[in-house]
């Protein structure tokens, strides 16, 4: 059985291959490098129990918090923490601890990013020079 990180990354690679297979000059030849050394091969969690990162059904709150804290401790020593976090935010991964963040924490990060992007767009719009008809 594949670790959830490996399974998710393989699914993403397959989806990319499928979406580019019909395009000229693309397909598996250009994407084979993704399988050569994907970011998740160096993940610290690959050596740990996958159940540490994903909640069992009907898990009591205290047990969930303790499990998530243990998972975050593994993430804290991980050399690919940022790649994992960005993967989870880009997908977005709806469950589990990814990149040291729970699903709820990732939703907060995504909401902040969306708000910040909106503020930047508005600032650019306001700062854009206006043409005077004449």
The pLDDT > 90 percentage for the chain reads: 49
Residue 85 has pLDDT above 80, yes or no: yes
Q: Is the pLDDT of residue 18 over 60?
A: no
- Of the pLDDT bands very low, low, confident and very high (cuts 50, 70, 90), residue 8 is low
pLDDT tens digits, residue range 24-36?
333 333 334 445 6
Looking up tokens 């503020």, which residue turns up?
119
**Beta strand extents in 21-83 (DSSP E only):** none
pLDDT in tens, 39-73: 889 899 988 777 899 988 899 999 999 999 999 99
Instruction: Measure the CA–CA gap between 68 and 99, rounded to whole angstroms.
Output: 12
Category of 99 on φ-ψ map: left (φ > 0), alpha (ψ -120 to 50) or beta = left
Q: Does the CA dihedral 111-113-114-120 come out positive or negative?
A: positive
Q: 1 pLDDT band (50/70/90 cuts)? A: very low
Burial 46-72 (b: 16+ CB within 10 A, else e): eeeebebbebeeeeeeeeeeebbeebb
- SS3 label, residue 92: coil
109, pLDDT greater than 60: yes
Question: Does residue 94 or residue 5 have the better pLDDT?
Answer: 94
More confident residue, 44 or 14: 44
């Amino acid at each position: 059985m594949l670790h959830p990180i490996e399974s998710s990354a393989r699914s993403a690679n397959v989806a990319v291959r499928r979406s580019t297979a019909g395009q000229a000059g693309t397909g598996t030849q250009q994407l084979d490098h993704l399988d050569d050394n994907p970011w998740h091969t160096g993940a610290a969690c690959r050596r740990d129990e996958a159940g540490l990162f994903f909640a069992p059904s009907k898990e009591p709150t205290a047990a969930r918090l303790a499990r998530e804290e243990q998972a975050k401790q593994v993430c804290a020593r991980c050399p690919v923490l940022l790649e994992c976090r960005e993967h989870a935010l880009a997908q977005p991964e709806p469950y589990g601890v990814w990149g040291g963040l729970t699903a709820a924490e990732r939703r907060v990060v995504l909401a902040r990013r969306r708000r910040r992007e909106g503020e930047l767009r508005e600032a650019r719009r306001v700062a854009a020079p206006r043409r005077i008809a004449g």
